[in-house]
Structure 1
Amino acid sequence: MGKTNVAVNRWLADNERFADLFNGFMFHGKQIIQPEDLENLDREADILITDKSGKTRGVQRYRDIIKRWKKDMKLVVLACESQNKIHYAMPVRNMLYDSLAYTDQIQETWRWQKKGSIMTGEEFLSRFRRGDKIYPVITLVFYYDVKKWDGAVDLYGMFPEMQDGEMKDVLHKFVPNYWINLVDAGEIERVEHFRTDLQQVFGMLKYRNKKEELQQYIHQNQEYFSSVDVETYQALGEFLHMEKELEKMADVRKGEKVDMCQALKEWYADGVEEGRSEGRSEGRSEGRSEGRAELLKELIDKKRKKGLSVEEIADILEVDAKTVRELAGKDVNRKRK
């Protein structure tokens, strides 16, 4: 998890939003997962691997968000990996994370075995009894960069394209595929499937590259955006890639509400003023450049009247011959309004 994911992960880890994310994506808005049925799990997953020579090494990974969902007597592990950039090896990365989650369950089950309990040799070898069970792990990849996801969404997508139909069939038969559950936050069409403020935020993300339309959308949803909590405000800064700008424009002390509408107005106004300033600066620079060209042309004209060649003028004025030729037949007087 990179530093830029911290605000987003903290925001998504709220049980109501987390449940809404899965309900909206997996169940099309049906309220299957209830926030009160969720509890946090240890984000660290590690296992010890022993090779044939007896050497042991550890494999350790950290999940962005992982929770246990207890529904009646059933249990499912729900995880979310947030990405602010495309990860082109995401299918393999997720496969490793999920495998570690399953391995951790096996190890935890083994730790809880009663000492002295009778088991077969196969069970002892497996560190897993015949009647033991593990619970399914469902991982969502929450991607929120402006660029549309163009990486592989399954393991097969990372393999080279095979033209041989028979070989392709064999590959698909004997190599299990593994796909990722991709939530491309800026490409969600049915935002009404979400019941929390994910609906407003996902709607907002469609206009990230359109400043005026973004302002209009936030104005239309003013009731929500005029009073957001600090965690939401910080997450919005990450989504819009303007976290530093927003921090300067609003009081983000813990426990206070922030007016996102006003912050964006200030951001927009600053952007317009910055553009005007850059325009004035460029104008002055261009003016100085044209002024130098004007003076150089006057000198070239004087030298030409004396019958000097292009090469001689270039040598005297210490410029290249091409510049002399261009200015000799060019009107460089500045246009004045």
Structure 2
Amino acid sequence: MKPDVVLKNFWKNNAHFADLFNAAVFQGEQVLKPEDLKEADTDVSSVLKFNGHAETDFVSSDEFLSNFKKTDRLHPVISLCVYYGEEKWDGPGCLKDMLKIPEKLQSLVSDYSMNLLQVRTSKPMQFRNPDVNTVFEASRFIYEKDYENLNAIYENKEIPSELGLVIGTITNSQSLIDRALEAEEKEGGQMIMCKALEELRMEGVLQGRTEGIRATVKTCKKFQINKEAIIETIGKEFSMPEKEVAEYVEKYW
């Protein structure tokens, strides 16, 4: 299943969507109510239509041509960008960041700030929906490699497989995705995260080891240390067989 489909399905739930906006846009105030929301097809462009106006309703030729009366008003659209990446957002934060504006024209160009929510910095958000809170909290722990808190809270906790799939999709954790799909088929849609978390922890350990080996190889190469000495050093440091270390050295040399 494609990542965008997984996330889109999660946010199609009115309770999830309302809680996201209430936390990110309204500072936790319960402004949006799930029962007041209606789904719209975001894949199809919409065109404003003002039906029911007889030609005699328009008081000027401009109104007639535009099909828009002086008394008509548009509904505002509030956009929220949810950034799921592990690294800090380094894109534009407002419209002006995307424009090349001569200094003399700066004051003449209206700006439009972005409503941005980053998963990695979402701790202050006041999520009230338990599913939404679980998705953001667990994803944040994984990004921070905070396996102590992750295990303390979620190791023996049963959660819907949908949440495991969403968390795995956000953090690109294949072990969570596989465990969630397995639970969806065999365990009534519920999963206990202990096995997936252990696999996830090992993934983190292996990733850290790989990064350490790569840095060691690059540093040793810079100081013109021969490969044999590097292989011996890394083998002792990481308790790895010589053949495996040699493969890493060749890869990162």
Q: TM exceeds 0.5? A: yes
Per the alignment, residue 49 of structure 2 pairs with: 108
Per the alignment, residue 124 of structure 1 pairs with: 64
Give the structure with higher Rg (CA): 1
Per the alignment, residue 196 of structure 2 pairs with: 263
CA spacing shift, 1:252–1:240, aligned 2, 3 Å: same
Residue 267 of structure 1 deviates from its aligned partner by 3.8
CA distance in 2, matches of 1:35, 1:28: 17
User: Do 1:226 and 1:262's aligned partners in 2 also have CA atoms closer than 8 Å?
Assistant: no
CA distance in 1, matches of 2:123, 2:28: 13
CA spacing shift, 1:269–1:122, aligned 2, 3 Å: closer
CA distance in 1, matches of 2:79, 2:137: 23
Per the alignment, residue 137 of structure 1 pairs with: 77
What whole-Å deviation, never above 9, does each CA across 1:112-151 have from its counterpart, x for those lacking one?
2245554232112112122222111101000011010011
For residue 234 of structure 1, the aligned residue among 165, 170, 184 is: 165
**What is the 5 A alignment of 1:292-303?**
none
1:36 pairs with 2:44 = no
Per the alignment, residue 14 of structure 1 pairs with: 13
**What is the 5 A alignment of 1:171-320?**
171-191=105-125, 193-197=126-130, 198-211=132-145, 213-214=146-147, 216-222=148-154, 226-242=157-173, 244-250=174-180, 251-253=182-184, 256-268=189-201, 282-284=241-243
CA spacing shift, 1:208–1:285, aligned 2, 3 Å: closer
User: Do 2:127 and 2:133's aligned partners in 1 also have CA atoms closer than 8 Å?
Assistant: yes
CA spacing shift, 1:172–1:270, aligned 2, 3 Å: closer
The ranges of structure 1 where at least 4 consecutive aligned residues each deviate by more than 4 angstroms after the TM superposition are 114-117, 269-275, 278-282, 285-288
Normalization by structure 1: what TM-score? 0.55
Higher strand residue share: 1
1:154 pairs with 2:94 = yes
- Percent identity over the alignment is 27
User: Do 1:10 and 1:231's aligned partners in 2 also have CA atoms closer than 8 Å?
Assistant: no
User: Do 2:18 and 2:33's aligned partners in 1 also have CA atoms closer than 8 Å?
Assistant: yes
CA distance in 1, matches of 2:13, 2:245: 53
Q: Which amino acid counterpart does residue 113 of structure 1 have in structure 2?
A: G
What 5-or-longer segments of structure 2 have no aligned partner? Answer: 210-234, 248-253
Higher helix residue share: 2
Q: Which amino acid counterpart does residue 264 of structure 1 have in structure 2?
A: L
Query: How many residues were matched structurally?
Result: 214
Residue 159 of structure 1 deviates from its aligned partner by 3.3
CA distance in 1, matches of 2:140, 2:92: 22
CA distance in 2, matches of 1:186, 1:145: 8
CA distance in 2, matches of 1:235, 1:266: 17
SS at match of 1:228: strand
What whole-Å deviation, never above 9, does each CA across 1:274-332 have from its counterpart, x for those lacking one?
98xx97875235699xxxxxxxxxxxxxxxxxxxxxxxxxxxxxxxxxxxxxxxxxxxx
CA distance in 2, matches of 1:284, 1:173: 64
CA distance in 1, matches of 2:107, 2:11: 38
User: Do 2:84 and 2:119's aligned partners in 1 also have CA atoms closer than 8 Å?
Assistant: yes
Over aligned residue pairs, what C-alpha RMSD do you find? 3.3
What whole-Å deviation, never above 9, does each CA across 1:50-101 have from its counterpart, x for those lacking one?
xxxxxxxxxxxxxxxxxxxxxxxxxxxxxxxxxxxxxxxxxxxxxxxxxxx6
SS at match of 1:32: coil
CA distance in 2, matches of 1:247, 1:201: 13
